[in-house]
Structure 1
């Protein structure tokens, strides 16, 4: 269900994601308390003692749930989520977390790098649904290597997800190739017209009429009314996505104006036109643009698993498929 994945601090109103002011104050206080020097454990204890509900609607906080708040990139704002935390505050919190992890050796222990990247939050695992994160191998040594792996790759020293690894150069090459594929098919941007809107609009009207009937009958505590109100919000959201599709197609065409061939990675262009890139094990990366247009880039991948889950991948033979 859609609401289940809504980050704390937001709410859905008529299909649009807006800031939940009451929850937003809690999120902001977490960032400020952490920047002022409180530990994750101390913040969690205070929130629990105050009976503050977490994202799961329970007054049970721990250092992990506080940490997830601090690292959630959606608080910086994106296509759907309004900005909740200013850039300076967010960056300060990330820098402090990285410093704490380095101090206690956690960055090497978990092979993780928390510093943000243009790819943060944009790369998703098609096998388990988690996002990708940046890992560092042999941190601080001449042999240091940086790779992007599924967040579920390692948990408690066990390999949980065996999806593909990528260097940043490989991710950049995939984006460049997908964008060039899109440029060659630019006319298709105007042809993406979903068949769902008429049906959805009819269902929305029927749902809205039934809600009005229940309200007129005074059935305000009816379970059906609660379910229908949620359904209406979801339908509003779906309709708004359809309306945004045409605008986003124009945004892409504008961004690609005067670009006949993309010869190298363009960070601003990536941030402007890419919604997400989803990795499917040993087969392809699905590159989804902000208007819903999808291009699949096939990958040739071979993996040799040892105790440390090492891998090899041929990043030079990416081919685009329509």
Structure 2
């Protein structure tokens, strides 16, 4: 019989490191009552860990006056999650699930991620501890109730706002240039009102919104006594604002009822409420109506000019991603980046003459005509080879599916063993982690084998290009719209000296502007 020697532990209970805890608290709004709640939660958690022998408070994360339905709006919550990922926290305490999140999806997502990091969460009100796996179903239920509570509050607020808009008691929330907001009422600011009248007069006298913005910047006109940079879009919004004739249109925008909530322009989805004679007007209704008609006519003229142009909506800015628009200047047509035109400091890409774009396309076509046998034909052959390899790999794809199915079945068996008490928590996590890693590896291999599903379309497009250049007997000398439309998907303007043509088949070619 072997001799057994007991090796005593070298780390005593007194020497054990304390559990590093964090507390998260949040209040729903910034009202005085909610502020008291926020302070009470903060004070409670600060005192909670003072005399604990097993736990210590590492940090307290507190969001004040922030919605719980959108986690991306909670800076402190995001900071806590980042600290968890860095291994700074072992356990999180929070007052209730509704404090942690009112969106069931986000709640479960974060709890599961924390659990995978070895971090537990304790919800005091519901007495739920995520250290117990069986509590996940309870979290789902409570998270759903919390989300329903948030939805109910939102619906009540919507109903209240709708009633106020209907009975004419809705108060203003924001002022506009030319007015000051006093107790929900717009009061005229005479100095700013003079500038507003000039803006409307300038527009009626033929100046565009970009030119007006430039003039305001040169004059050093500020807002609310502070310097600012005027832009074309800012001026266009002002020219369309009915507040300057003393009226007010409510519900120009609305918030969706489904999560995640989005704020969208109201294009007929919900009723709007137009109040007349709400406050003192800056300009007459006749001036306002003439400006609206001029805006409509100018817009129609621009749309008509660009609608018949093959380059319309095809040119993108390589610096900011904005779509270029056409501009007629002294009989010459230019394509300009919208952001550069409106806010020149945000994008440095200058206007491009349309003739230069046409010339660059002609040079590119001629280069491909001379060299398509060296460029396009080998590419076509490589795509055909790829397709053949994919067809031969079908057996391998089926094998991967079978292996994945077996591994998933093993995870279900482990779950059943743990539920019946035959497998402890540590062993369960260890084995499921190993199985998950194997499944992920197989999924990555499967992605490599199946990611070329669209190669048939690409092959067809490359064959169209080859066919086009084979039928061409001479170099191109003039810009042809049908050719451009048939082979070009878009043009990216790298700068005023270089264009990147995106052709069908996923091909990209750069061409200098001469």
Please give the TM-score of this superposition, normalised by the length of structure 2.
Answer: 0.32
Instruction: Choose 1 or 2 for highest CA Rg.
Output: 2
Structure with the higher helix share, 1 or 2: 2
Please give the TM-score of this superposition, normalised by the length of structure 1.
Answer: 0.48
Q: Which has the higher contact order (CA 8 A, sep 6+)?
A: 1
